[in-house]
Amino acid sequence: MMYSLEDLLHLMSRLRDPQFGCPWDIKQTYATIVPHTLEEAYEVADAIERGDLDHLQGELGDLLFQVVYYSQLAKEEGRFEFAGVIDSITRKLIRRHPHVFPTGDLYAPLDVPRLSEEQVKQRWEEIKAEERAEKASAPEQLSLLDDVPATLPALSRSAKLQKRAGQVGFDWPDALPVLDKVREELDEVLEAMSENDPVAVADEIGDLLFSVVNLARHLKVDPETALRGANGKFERRFRFIEQALRDTHRPMEDCTLEELDALWGEAKRQEKNEPSCG
C-alpha cells in the first residue's frame, strides 16, 4: 500500500484534532512552524548539493509537510485549504508561462512556438512586475523592493534586492567596476579598523559583504550556494587537520599556527589529488 496526498491531509487533520491529536502539534502556530520550514528547505538543498539523492525523497516529504501544516492552520481559521494552495500556484504558473499556455488552457495541445531562454526570462519579469502592480492599492507608492522577503538569508536577499534595482537600470554595467567597489569597501574597513571604531567596522563590513554579493551576481554565481560550498570546504579541511593530529596523539592547542597551516596545505593537496612533497 502506498499512501496518497489525501492520506497526508487526513493525518495532518488528526494531528491537530483538539481532543485526540498530538499535544505538540495542537499548540503550533504559523510563527512557530517557520523555523522548521526553513530547516527543511535547507535540508533539501543540502541533500542535492551532497549528491545524496537516495534521501532526497524523504527530505522533499518533510518540506511538503510544512505546506500541509500551514494549510491545516488556515483551514481551521476558515482562510483557505490545501486545494486552494494548489489552485493558486497552478493559476500563477499558467499566467507566467504564456509561451507554453497561450490560451490559458492547462491541457491545450503543445503546439506553440518555442521562445529563447532570454525571451522567456524577459517575459517572466514583465509578468511579475504586472502582478506586483496589481497588488498595490496605490501604485504610485509601490516600491520595486516591496515583495523581497525580509526573512530570506541575508546573502540571498542582497542578491534579490540588487537584481530588482537592476531591472530599472540602477546597476553596474559589468563585473569590473563592481570589483573596484569591493576594493573600495575593503579600504573603508581598514580605515574603520585604524580608528578603532567597532560600530563603523561592523557597518563597513556589511558594505563589503553587500559589494561581494553584487560581484557574485554579475559573475552569475549564487552567493548563498558559493558560501555554503566554502563552508563545506573549510569543514573538510579542518576535519582533516583534526584527524591528522589524532593520529599523532597531539592536541591542536599544542601546535603552532605554522604547523596547522602546513596540515591545511596537505588537506588542499589531497583534495586536488596532488602528491605531497613531504
Q: Of 62-76, 132-146, 240-254, 260-274, which has the strongest mean pLDDT?
A: 62-76
pLDDT tens track for 208-230: 999 999 999 999 999 988 998 89
Confidence of residue 37 (pLDDT cuts 50, 70, 90): very high
Say whether pLDDT at 135 is over 70. Answer: no
pLDDT band at 97 (very low <50, low <70, confident <90, very high): confident
Any idea which of 49-53, 65-69, 273-277 has the lowest mean pLDDT? 273-277
The average pLDDT across 129-157 equals 75
Q: Does residue 277 have a pLDDT over 50?
A: no
Supply the pTM of this predicted model.
0.64
Residue range 54-81, pLDDT digits in tens: 999 999 999 999 999 999 999 999 999 9
Higher pLDDT among residues 128 and 208, named by residue:
208
Q: Specify the residue for cell string 599556527.
A: 257
- Predicted local distance difference test score (pLDDT) of residue 149: 84
pLDDT at 276: 46
